[in-house]
Chains A and B, each alone.
Chain A
């Protein structure tokens, strides 16, 4: 008779242990997922600000740039592509396809912006324009914030992905469909170029 009670107690402990293990593993994954989604929201705010700045920048530059107007069009186009990609990514942060296309769209935008800045070097009036100076200053600071927020996002994606893959939480991740999150990567060379929009 005492045996039954002991068995019952053992069963109870095991059951509680299992429930606790599953629930806490699941909750941890949810917490980490929320964390990287929140981190993405930080990027999103800055990206939007940048997409708002670029048309103004193009508009200001238009008045001065006589040749190579296709550079301006390229910037506008790249901005629109990036804008759409960011919208898709914001709807589902961390989704592999969305993040990859955002990454390449941002790389493209950074490239065209860099070219615009190079072109504008040959227009001293444009460089001296008060509006242009403010806009590019604002753009630089937004780029800085984006790269900072991107670092935070990538850090939290790494933590989430690691937790997703290690035993035993990979079992739970598999059962409840926690899909891996994608890093937000902007290609190196252009990325180095882009923040240098200074006119001094």
Chain B
């Protein structure tokens, strides 16, 4: 199933969840109504005792129903909204709940570096910014989670047992599993689930509070409170039970899918299977210590709570089933884990640092000299890579082994200065600036002077030293560099980010003309960081049909048609090639806009609106973009990166576009 279908499915699942949720709440309201009715009757009977016959018992009391409904709905709504607000911080908020410690991108611990490298490679391979990585120091078990609303605010957390006990390829399997959750839109679904279950849980909690506080009072009228409390507690608990049932049902399905995707990313079933086996062999398994484990367990890699007695309540399929699904050769045994395992893994991590790991996969690039030449040497004699338009879309959100290998090599072939810079907050700022410096020396010096003035002289110096390396790197190294740097930029403080962002804006506008690629790069940086530093919320789907978005699509396609074409007929042809893929309604107004009418401001507005469309619209749009750019039969490298950058602003990460011949070799 492709990326968009997955997104759509996650989106539909959310709707289904909301439906279940409404059903559960309605059931609680009705049940609470009957309890209240009985209480009402009882109190009335008491009241009329000795004063003649009480009025007949009525089943239909709209006034009472209204009161009960308002009460229950109010509690559930407030609870859900509160939880939702609490988790608005995305991945980092969840990691904080679990007691996670952020791994510094420049960490020196060998195990943490192994973890960071694995995450970085996976991020480059799938084209998303490097997520924040947390280690849960208090958890001995082997487990991991991914949380967030979108790739921009995603966090990956792994337990201490996970980093200490898993070898590199096993860790890769686990991280691949988590990336599947990031790419398939499961994370957002998971956050919703937490909020919903919490809202119902509130009813039970309030019931408990009433039961205890009301019990002390002697007033006969107040005696209704503890009974009401008991009723609420029971009803709430039943509601929570069903909530957990939904939680488990949704989660179990996604876990199998994520396992399968992980194997697809790494093409190494033994890694993931090894990790799962270690969970089975380890005395602590995947059990979590945190109090929040029951609420969050559906986000984790392995089952984080005690195996429930009742099977449908399990959020994860049993470990042996998961192992068998990916590795039929497994013998079904779990010999206990040696104590020395920690030392073995640590030593392996140390030696990997000294000698970069021999890749566990056979090389798929049959080219002499490896990929390094293609990746970095922009001006080398090798012929430019050719990418066929039709090979782009199927890879979207579906990185494969090919992309992972490519990412590994790309990262290794980046100049050391750039690699190191992308990991330090201070240097990462300089790196982003260096990427946007002009080629002309005079202009560049003026820009550097202004950076010194606006930000700091030290950053300006650093940008100047990085510039030669950055400008020597090929076009398609830019997006990965940014994705790497975003991880470090998250360590800026809010005032530093503000200063950084303003200087960035100035830098983009300083050369008078704004290049589309430059513009999109800075948009990516700011968009991914805005979630953390400003109050911005992740975009919510607002457009379900294409009609209101047609003008925005036209702006974008016109701009793309203008890129790399100067001849009016060529531009028209490129535009005309792309447009049919939009699948617009027949009467839509699809006319190529002149260059002046699709400037950066309009593109910016268009992209912001398009980011709020449903996945199917984005799919058609990206297909249209690909064909507009590839109207001349091939996609040049710079065009490919522009495409990836634009797709990124729409939250549709495209893996690196690996040249076509190699794609065929791999197949």
Contacts and interface: CB of A to CB of B under 8 A. Distances in A.
Interface string B68-96: 10110011001100100110010011001
A174 interface: no
B491 A6 contact: no
Interface string A96-130: 00000000000000000000000000000000000
Interface string B635-665: 0000000000000000000000000000000
Contact of A15 (B101, B209, B221, B426): B209
A152 B462 contact: no
Contacts of A151: 493, 496
Given A8-B210, A20-B82, A145 B424 contact: yes
A15 B92 CA distance: 28
Interface string A7-26: 01101110111011001100
Interface in A1-60: 1-2, 4-6, 8-9, 11-13, 15-17, 19-20, 23-24, 27, 30-31, 34, 38-39, 41-42, 45-46, 48
B67 interface: yes
A145 B427 contact: yes
Contact of A4 (B108, B205, B209, B221): B221
Interface in A46-102: 46, 48
A68 B106 CA distance: 37
A189 B206 CA distance: 60
Given A12-B74, A42-B104, A152-B493, A5 B36 contact: yes
B5 interface: no
B22 interface: no
A148 interface: yes
B494 A159 contact: yes
Contacts of B464: none
B225 interface: yes
Contacts of A45: 104, 106-108
Interface string B250-287: 00000000000000000000000000000000000000
Given A12-B206, A24-B82, A2 B63 contact: yes
Contact of B86 (A24, A41, A153, A156): A24
A179 interface: no
A131 interface: no
Interface residues of A, number: 42
B121 to A, nearest CB: 22
Nearest to A155: B493
Contacts of B248: none
Given A4-B43, A9-B74, 19 more contacts: A5-B36, A9-B70, A13-B74, A13-B78, A15-B206, A16-B78, A20-B82, A27-B96, A34-B102, A41-B101, A41-B104, A42-B106, A45-B108, A145-B427, A148-B456, A152-B491, A152-B492, A152-B493, A155-B494
Interface of B: 36, 40, 43-44, 63-64, 67-68, 70-71, 74-75, 78-79, 82, 85-86, 89, 92-93, 96-97, 101-102, 104, 106-108, 202, 205-206, 209-210, 221-222, 224-225, 228, 424-427, 456, 458, 462, 491-496
